[in-house]
Amino acid sequence: MEQYDAIIIGAGVIGTSVAYHLARLGCTRVLVLDRTQIGAGTTSQSSGILRTHYSVIENVRLAQASWKAFTDFAAYLGDEEASAGMVKCGYLIAAPEGAKLEPLAAALRAQQDQGIEVQLLGRSEASSLLPIARFDDAALIGYEPEAGFADAYLVATSFARTARHLGVKIMEGVEVEELLLEGGKVTGVRTSRGVFHAATVISTQNIWARDIERWTGIPSPVVPERHSVLALEGPEAYTFRMPVYKDLGSPGMLYCRSYGGNQMLVSEGIVGETLPEPDNEQGDISMDYMVEIGEQVAERFPSFDAAGVASSWTGVYDVTPDWNPVLGRLPDVQGLVVGYGFSGHGFKLSPAVGLVLAQCALGLPTEVDIQPYALERFRNGHLLTGKYGLGAVS
């Protein structure tokens, strides 16, 4: 019988972050279990965009705390060889006249109130940062210079590597089949490789969080939703110096970033395709859908009218009813802590979420208040719904 202080189910960027932070807080008898491999779940599908821009202030706080880790990741981990693969190119967000304008103005003000550097740009200033885009319809443009994109897989493996150095055990290819309970308290897990004991279990299972419902009877309000990502090869370069662009004026609320050379990574920021099961297989992207995205891109980036599709893939979001995660203890099961439902924006929150879940698991005060993220909000109606409508910009 193997006894641990804490067991983490899932070695994505969230689970590995929790493991690292537990160890940093002095809890090193930790076991991480993943049925596949570190980072091989939805983390490997991430577009990697890092920003603190949100219309939900709680998310701004988590993203701001996370940015402090990303901006000097090696120092944060205490490992000079660690890297997040960061490209600090900034984040540009623009809205035309219409429904998104006031939410954008309010969100930018809220960021500034939090002490985040956010600039309001004129159209020509925006054009000089991103000359391949047109801004003639922009009524408001916000620019967050301390933002960009990074590599979610690299971040997960870096958290895992440092956690291992600190004494954490990570087992891959081990499926958790059952949460073990005695008198309403967690005692461990039954797995494909036997039983492991701990009085604290942290589930960071993403789209597979419905296992918790099966094991405890407590609903996990999470739906797997497939999203498509395209890399378009244009006639002009989208360099690493050019900012990530969020186009609130496009029907799909597109997000775009450099994918190196003349390539642009682009995807929609709205509701995707609901899957019946958390099936992580690649899905087909129809020609009609590619044309739909291509038209929106060409509308904003005129020269990309001539772009071709260099590559494409799909990924699955763990979507909750308000597009925000469930974080913290489940009060009806002593010893169970959860972090799931990141709804397509969990990477940028992963350092702070790992810290607060570790603090929560150890019974410590959390760096950022996570009470608003409690599961109870779906019963008491205190939802964290964003002002831009449903979608990962939240």
Ligand X SMILES: Cc1cc2nc3c(=O)[nH]c(=O)nc-3n(C[C@H](O)[C@H](O)[C@H](O)COP(=O)(O)OP(=O)(O)OC[C@H]3O[C@@H](n4cnc5c(N)ncnc54)[C@H](O)[C@@H]3O)c2cc1C
Binding positions for ligand X, rule: CB under 6 A: 9-15, 33-36, 40-43, 45-49, 152, 175-176, 204-206, 208, 211, 227, 229, 315-317, 342, 344-348
Q: Which is nearer to ligand X, 247 or 302 (by Cβ)? A: 247
- By CB atoms closer than 10 A (0-12, 13-18, 19+), residue 327 is buried
CB of 76 closer than 8 Å to CB of 150? no
| Minimum CB–partner distance for residue 139 and ligand X (Å) | 25
Q: Which is nearer to ligand X, 42 or 262 (by Cβ)? A: 42
Q: Which is nearer to ligand X, 306 or 318 (by Cβ)? A: 318
Q: Which is nearer to ligand X, 83 or 127 (by Cβ)? A: 83
Q: Are strands 223-233 and 201-203 parallel, antiparallel or unpaired?
A: unpaired
| Minimum CB–partner distance for residue 209 and ligand X (Å) | 8
3-state helix, strand, coil in the chain (%, to 5): 30, 25, 45
Q: Which is nearer to ligand X, 214 or 382 (by Cβ)? A: 214
| Minimum CB–partner distance for residue 123 and ligand X (Å) | 26
- By CB atoms closer than 10 A (0-12, 13-18, 19+), residue 380 is exposed
| Minimum CB–partner distance for residue 340 and ligand X (Å) | 6
User: Going by C-beta distance under 8 Å and a sequence separation of 6 or more, which residues neighbour residue 182?
Assistant: none
- In what helix (H) or strand (E) does residue 309 lie, and over which residues does it extend? strand 308-319
CB of 111 closer than 8 Å to CB of 118? yes
Q: Which is nearer to ligand X, 101 or 211 (by Cβ)? A: 211
Q: Which is nearer to ligand X, 61 or 305 (by Cβ)? A: 61
| Minimum CB–partner distance for residue 1 and ligand X (Å) | 19
| Minimum CB–partner distance for residue 181 and ligand X (Å) | 16
Q: Which is nearer to ligand X, 104 or 338 (by Cβ)? A: 338
| Minimum CB–partner distance for residue 257 and ligand X (Å) | 8
* 3-state class (DSSP) for residue 195: strand
CA 66 to chain centre: 11
Q: Which is nearer to ligand X, 171 or 364 (by Cβ)? A: 171
Measured in Å, how far apart are the chain's first and last C-alpha atoms? 44
In 3D space, the residue among 287, 296, 289, 388 whose CA is nearest the CA of residue 343 turns out to be 388
**Cα distance between residue 213 and residue 196, in whole Å:** 20
| Minimum CB–partner distance for residue 188 and ligand X (Å) | 13
| Minimum CB–partner distance for residue 54 and ligand X (Å) | 11
**Cα distance between residue 79 and residue 77, in whole Å:** 5
| Minimum CB–partner distance for residue 198 and ligand X (Å) | 15
Neighbours of 147 (CB within 10 A): 27
- By CB atoms closer than 10 A (0-12, 13-18, 19+), residue 240 is middle
CB of 142 closer than 8 Å to CB of 117? no
Q: Which is nearer to ligand X, 131 or 373 (by Cβ)? A: 373
Neighbours of 68 (CB within 10 A): 11
